[in-house]
Amino acid sequence: MLFDETLFIGSSIPSKVCWPLKTILEHYATIRDAIAGTPHVESHDLPTLVANTSLIYAFNTFKAISLLLHQMYHESGAVVLRQLWEVSLNLHWIGIDPATRAKDFCGFTLVEHRKLICKSGDSKSLRDFDTATKKFQEQYRYDDKRGRNRIQNNFAAANIHDRAVELDEPWISEYKLIYDLASMHAHGAPGAILHGMFLAQYPDSDERENDAAAIVAIQAIRVIVRNVQLLVRMNVITDARAVLSAYDAFQDTLSKAVSVEEKQ
């Protein structure tokens, strides 16, 4: 499947596969309903709490994408796909060392709150906050190359690219496809605004829109199912058979679409 020939922004060579969008969205709904019915372990230990709440957040973005794609708003779908992918990346990165990284994840809310105080311009509140939380903040502070004391930009102390590299494939490839390209839509970049002109080689504009929406749906399904598989390995989801069965059926549809194209 030639996902490097992305239709999020534009490609000089149109995808060779005309994706069956209607059928893909039917699979999307089946997988969505299967995930909604999965039994979860209820626990207040931090790794399980972060895993469950992260999946709920990811699942809500997954549902939002399907609403956009049914109306063929694939540009906005790509933006929400980036949101789904990034929360999923964090979840999988935490899954490497759940006990330590879940604690860092939750503790970083203090840093985020500090940023809000800074934006408020209330210097007294900021001084009081820093005095009260100085010891706790130390775990998120570092000295830069010029010796200046800084506070981390994210809970992981590693940027998104480096987290993707640590997780390896398919995260590395998806970083290039989803994060970089979907970010153009998120930021209203020239390539996003003018992408229709870049796709002018399509003889059928409806086919172009169909394929763009289908690619967003395919990637979203793959990401959300990986989250379910991770929670199974973490013993947070106790039975994912319905999800995995629905995913197999989806994969079969994709294989048939590629096979039909190869025979032509």
CA R_g for the chain: 21
Does the pLDDT at position 58 exceed 70? yes
Residue 264, domain member (yes or no):
no
DSSP string, 62-118: HHHHHHHHHTT-HHHHHHHHHHHHHHHHHHHHHHHSHHHHHHHHHHHHHHHHHHHHH
What percent of the chain clears pLDDT 90, i.e. is strictly above it?
52
- What is the reported pLDDT for 189? 86
Domain limits at 192?
Answer: 21-98+159-259
* pLDDT attached to residue 5: 47
Task: Determine the pLDDT at residue 98.
Answer: 95
Question: By the 8 A CB rule, do 149 and 190 touch?
Answer: no
Using one digit for the tens of pLDDT, what is the confidence trace for 94-151? 999 999 999 999 999 998 998 899 888 888 888 998 889 888 888 888 888 888 888 8
Query: Is there a domain that residue 69 lies in?
Result: yes
Mean pLDDT value of segment 170-175: 93
Does residue 14 surpass a pLDDT of 60?
no
pLDDT digits (tens, 9 = 90+) for 180-195: 778 888 898 887 887 7
In a domain, 132, yes or no: no
CA end-to-end distance (rounded Å), the chain: 16
* pLDDT-based confidence at residue 247 (cuts at 50, 70, 90): very high
| Two structure tokens written together for 168 | 């390896």
Residue 207 has pLDDT above 80, yes or no: no
Strands 141-143 and 149-151: antiparallel
Question: Domains in the chain: how many in total?
Answer: 1
**Whole-Å CA distances, 65 to 15, 167, 175, 230:** 22, 25, 19, 21
pLDDT at 201: 60
Q: pTM for the complete prediction?
A: 0.87
- Contact status, residue 34 vs residue 242, Cβ threshold 8 Å: yes
Q: What percent of the chain has pLDDT over 70?
A: 88
User: Is 150 domain-assigned?
Assistant: no
Give domain status of residue 1, yes or no. Answer: no
Q: Has residue 68 been placed in a domain?
A: yes
Q: Single out the residue of 12, 28, 34, 1 nearest to residue 217, CA to CA.
A: 28
Amino acid, single-letter form, for residue 209: E
Residue 36 belongs to some domain of the structure: yes
In-domain check, residue 232: yes
